[in-house]
Amino acid sequence: MTTYGSFPGTRPRRLRTNPVMRRMVAETRLHPADLILPAFVREGVSEPVPIAAMPGVVQHTRDSLKKAAAEAVAAGISGIMLFGVPEESKKDALGTPGTDPDGILQVALRDVRAEVGDDLLVMSDLCLDETTDHGHCGVLDEQGRVDNDATLERYAEMAQVQADAGAHVVGPSGMMDGQVGVVRDALDQIGREDVAILAYTVKYASAFYGPFREAVGSSLQGDRKTYQQDPANIRESLRELALDLEEGADMVMVKPAGPYLDILARVSDAVDVPVAAYQISGEYSMIEAAAEKGWIDRDRAILEALTGIRRAGARSILTYWATEVAQKLKDQ
């Protein structure tokens, strides 16, 4: 006689039996439209300059940046976030290239808008660290401290010149108190209510920024712990979130992404605006370095890391693999 009801009666493995089954029941999916490409453009170079700490990433020329933007459109990603790297001799205490209409970032914004129009969201980093000779994200006072309110005045001017240059979205990233409200007011004053703000709401003072410093030619001495957030804190992040929303942020972001998935999930659960996360340079470089050593499967690791960020609640992900991954997703 056959005996039925043998243990176990519930077998979750039935939903993992083959690739089609696993694809059908997948709870989280990556799509090219989820991705945004951070890109660096360097003044005064005739060829793209490889970034040693970020294999496969370069400081673009104006021409190679336009090509990268066109490739991003073809791949179906949603945006490109531009970082300008001025000539060293042009940096000063106030970050003048950041508000010069002919500064490299503003020139690059015009280039990319002319290349892609509205087929790609053209985003601009709104911060002074790339343009100051001291490398901090703001103006320094007589004691060498970052002056919050003096910096806000610079951010307001930056927002206006970036909007005039063609930015669809500005990303105030300096972690100054009140930055979102000041940027919103500055944009509205020149009739640019259409320009959106992607607020760097949760930005931790992270060791994972290391390779980025090379990417933007940072002149920083010291650290940014007096304005970027303490990695130990959660409630502080939620307080920053409430303030940015009150000041008019259209979208909010968590940076870094991978080490702070718990924060990303908390932010995503708390808001009804789009949430982004930035998979930063150190996250990129760790995977590339381990893959180069043959220690991990590069392609699987990239997709796993991005899926984890998406699963934690990010609607959009800034990643240096954006175009590559989007092309592979389209081919699946």
Which token pair is 274? 């789009």
In this prediction, residue 108 carries a pLDDT of 98
Q: Is 330 a catalytic residue?
A: no
3-state helix, strand, coil in the chain (%, to 5): 45, 15, 40
CA-to-CA dists, residue 32 to 76, 183, 193, 287, 315, angstroms: 5, 29, 28, 20, 11
In the predicted structure, residue 27 carries a pLDDT above the cut 80? yes
pLDDT digits (tens, 9 = 90+) for 134-185: 878 888 988 889 999 999 999 999 999 999 999 999 999 988 999 999 999 9
Q: Among residues 91, 255, 293, 328, which one is catalytic?
A: 255
Rounded Cα–Cα distance for residues 292 and 298 (Å): 8
In the predicted structure, residue 332 carries a pLDDT above the cut 80? no
In the predicted structure, residue 195 carries a pLDDT above the cut 80? yes
pTM of the model: 0.93
pLDDT band at 217 (very low <50, low <70, confident <90, very high): low
Which token pair is 32? 């090219």
- Spatial CB neighbours of 74, under 8 Å, sequence gap ≥ 6: none
Tell me if 223 sits within 8 A of 194, measured CB to CB.
no
pLDDT digits (tens, 9 = 90+) for 29-66: 999 999 999 999 999 999 999 999 999 999 999 999 99
In the predicted structure, residue 1 carries a pLDDT above the cut 60? no
- Spatial CB neighbours of 13, under 8 Å, sequence gap ≥ 6: none
pLDDT band at 201 (very low <50, low <70, confident <90, very high): very high
pLDDT digits (tens, 9 = 90+) for 226-244: 888 999 999 999 999 999 9
pLDDT digits (tens, 9 = 90+) for 311-329: 999 999 999 999 999 999 9
In the predicted structure, residue 4 carries a pLDDT above the cut 80? no
Rounded Cα–Cα distance for residues 15 and 35 (Å): 28
Q: Among residues 203, 293, 328, 330, which one is catalytic?
A: 203
